[in-house]
A and B are shown apart, each in its own frame.
Chain A
Amino acid sequence: MAKRIDVSGLHVYYGDFKAVEDVSMTIEPRAVTAFIGSSGCGKSTFLRALNRMHEVAPNARVEGKVMLDDQDIYAPDVDPVAVRREIGMVFQRPNPFPTMSIYDNVIAGAKLNNQRLGRTEADDIVERSLHGANLWEEVKDRLSKPGAGLSGGQQQRLCIARAIAVEPAVLLMDEPCSALDPISTLAIEDLIAKLKENYTICIVTHNMQQAARVSDQTAFFNLAGTGKPGRLIEMDETNKIFTKPDKKETENYITGRFG
């Protein structure tokens, strides 16, 4: 189920503006890879290039290669819609569909893949996905209530349930806890630790303690200067990045924040 992502020589553009320059990295399956770096250095842009959500922005484009196991996701004959079904995404602000019930939110993506989904099958998917997102116990008695009525943390787990209901190979998370309180944040972090048994997970975070807590690998991005594109400075075992990084730039960033 979980797949490896291999990025080589990836440049990401918004029109003429190059936001990310020449990134190569390998993202391991069944592991959590954290992307850290100062604001505006292209973490979100890079993350969205991994499931072709980047091209939703006008004039957005990429150069380079992204392999999902042995499939090139930017090959000319590959449908971005199919890529996104395999590489799910969780956003910074919880975004359940406001007009849908909890149940319908969870099943929304799965219904796209299978229009004739039977009732019992759908029930199974909903229950399994909500269990998977550690939300089942909290919502099992109000599945027909609007998803927007849940707390922020519950909404974010609902969004995770919705993403895993499609059974993707990879989950991308863009600062999934930045809009949440500490308790909800802990709940999501626990969930991430559980999810990595089955998925490849990439998480952007501005919180270095969080990166240290949840991730196995950490990638540090930085800007060469204002108006310059963001680059990958260093990527390694999370332990190593936070204790003895190879690059001075990384150390400055880590100690600056921790010190």
Chain B
Amino acid sequence: MTTTDSSATPQTPKGKRRIGDVVFANTASGSGILILAILAGVAAFLIIQSVDSLGANTANFFTTTGWDANTREAPAFGVAALAFGTVLAAAIALLIATPIAVGIALFIAYYAPRKLASVLGYIVDLLAAIPSVVYGLWGIGYLVHQLTPFYQWLSTSFGWIPLFAGPVSSTGRTMMSAGIVLAVMILPIITAISRDVFLQVPQAHREAALSLGATRWEMIRMAVLPFGRAGIIGGAMLGLGRALGETMAVAMILSPALVISPHLLQSGNQTIAAHIALQYPEATGYGVSALIAAGLVLFAITLVVNMGARYIVARRKEFTE
């Protein structure tokens, strides 16, 4: 009896703790499974809903630029121009935002006096909180007008580069404007992540550089940037993910045309997200299903980009440990 008791006593608290563990483990894995289920559900929905129109499509979905889907008779539509526009807008945004974000992050982490650094960090975080429709309003109501003279100059000076070829859109509602607004929108996430990795650079590495007679900038090049590079890439790709999916601002700013055009200063091009938002209300026939097919493509692009970002960030962690 005594033996049974003494063996039962230590088991009671153990058993109690196990209940907590079990509840926690189940909640955790439950939410994990739920997320996966939602993801799979969304993918399944997109696939099932798009099969209808893709089956009826008389054109090649991946190479066609036109969008003749609002019919029950022989729809012909393709995602080529949209996918191109989506990637182009996001790429412009990324090219503009990344260097600026890295610069701001370096300034916050290594140059600004402490007070200014925290104020700046706060302002950058605030930028992330602005709703995208507000960015859209700002872009269409203010920025495009400010940018038009600059576009004129760019086209006169560098018009021989196809990207900047004229005639410049007089409204300024161009791919370049959309890209610039997207750049402002993804600036905060890239800045925040870069700043975090820059602040994580071990003091030992920074002091190693300084003790060799490095200036602050040389210290940054020697110890900070190599250490933070993977983090910058990860942040940039998260920003890219956001830029790819951004709808409202692009829909408001861009004057759309379903073409594949490299001329950033002329009107034209369109992104998947903005196209869906603009077309959905008047979609008839195979229209809705076709838009869902476009959504599926966007889903796939964003998924790949985000997985790439996670992979790079995870690899960096392994490397620094």
Contact = CB atoms under 8 A, between A and B. Distances in A.
A51 B211 contact: yes
Interface string B218-234: 10001100110100000
A10 interface: no
Interface of B: 114, 202, 204-205, 207-215, 218, 222-223, 226-227, 229, 319-320
24 contacts: A56-B207, A81-B215, A84-B210, A84-B211, A84-B213, A91-B204, A91-B207, A91-B211, A95-B204, A96-B208, A97-B205, A97-B209, A98-B227, A98-B319, A99-B227, A100-B226, A108-B212, A112-B214, A112-B218, A113-B213, A159-B208, A163-B211, A163-B212, A166-B212
A88 interface: yes
Interface of A: 51, 53, 56, 58, 81-82, 84-85, 88-89, 91, 93, 95-100, 108-109, 112-113, 159, 162-163, 166
B227 A53 contact: no
B210 A91 contact: no
Contacts of A159: 208
Contacts of B207: 53, 56, 89, 91, 95
Nearest to A82: B213
A121 to B, nearest CB: 17
A51 B211 CA distance: 8
Given A53-B211, A112-B218, 16 more contacts: A51-B211, A56-B210, A58-B114, A82-B213, A84-B210, A84-B211, A95-B205, A97-B222, A97-B226, A98-B319, A98-B320, A99-B229, A108-B212, A112-B213, A163-B211, A166-B213
Given A84-B210, A85-B212, A89-B211, A98 B205 contact: yes
A109 B205 CA distance: 13
Nearest to B114: A58
B219 to A, nearest CB: 10
B212 A88 contact: yes
Contacts of A56: 207, 210
A63 to B, nearest CB: 22
Contacts of B209: 97, 108
A131 B114 CA distance: 43
Nearest to A100: B226
A59 to B, nearest CB: 10
Contact of B208 (A58, A85, A91, A99): A91
A81 B320 CA distance: 28
A13 B45 CA distance: 66
